[in-house]
Amino acid sequence: MPKTLPQRKNPFITLRSDPPLTTLGYFHAKLAGEELLELGVKINHIYTSPTLRCIQTANAIIEALQIPNLKFNIEPGLLQWTRFCRGKIPIFMTSRECEKARYNINPNYQPIYLTERLSLTETMDDFYARSHEVVKMALRMTEGNVLFVGHGGTLFSCTTQLCGLPIPSEQEAYNQFINTQYLDCKEAQEQTDGLYMLNDSPILPFTCSGHRKNETL
């Protein structure tokens, strides 16, 4: 675990449902950013899930890319499937808390999908619709390369409809989610017909010996 934690209101409650990255996780995030830098990949915009571990991942990538002026947008609509939230939507860090922790957030960003719209009863179709709504709107509002930082399921929910593919069944999607490794990445490239094509990840996958996933359906 990290030696220090960001200051938060009621930390014993908030950190239980919204934990930080481990030291190893932060190291992996920086390695991913360093590899993007070495490959010459330019990132123009970053959107991240509001969870602390995703915020810290985005921050580590920005540090590694050596672009301190790039601010990332905290987007509630990129939260994981709410069935994985263990019965309660987490209490996320406020913009003030993030700034105090020196995370490189955009304090003026207006979310596409408000936290109040998140529902613990959403179906898999709802989750994919939410993710697609966010990604489609974010791409419409921006130019250049956009990096979305999310969760294992986000990797698929943000790209499936974007590429004109059908939404998988709940069991198929769940199997995809639990077999996603830390820092897995997908690259979607826009085509002339307005759809996107998935390419190989620009960075090599990370593997950890003894890694065991513990999310339950």
Single out the residue of 142, 209, 213 nearest to residue 180, CA to CA: 213
Is the pLDDT at 217 greater than 80? The verdict is no
The C-alpha atoms of residue 86 and residue 72 are separated, in whole angstroms, by 27
Question: For 146-187, how does the pLDDT look when each residue is reduced to its tens digit (9 = 90+)?
Answer: 999 999 999 999 999 999 999 999 999 989 998 888 889 999
Is the pLDDT at 212 greater than 70? The verdict is no
SS3 59: helix
Helix (H) or strand (E) holding 197: strand 196-199
Lookup: tokens for 215: 């999310």
Segment 123-131 shows an average pLDDT of 97
List the domains of the chain with CATH numbers: 11-199 (3.40.50.1240)
Question: For 60-96, how does the pLDDT look when each residue is reduced to its tens digit (9 = 90+)?
Answer: 999 999 999 999 999 999 999 999 998 999 999 999 9
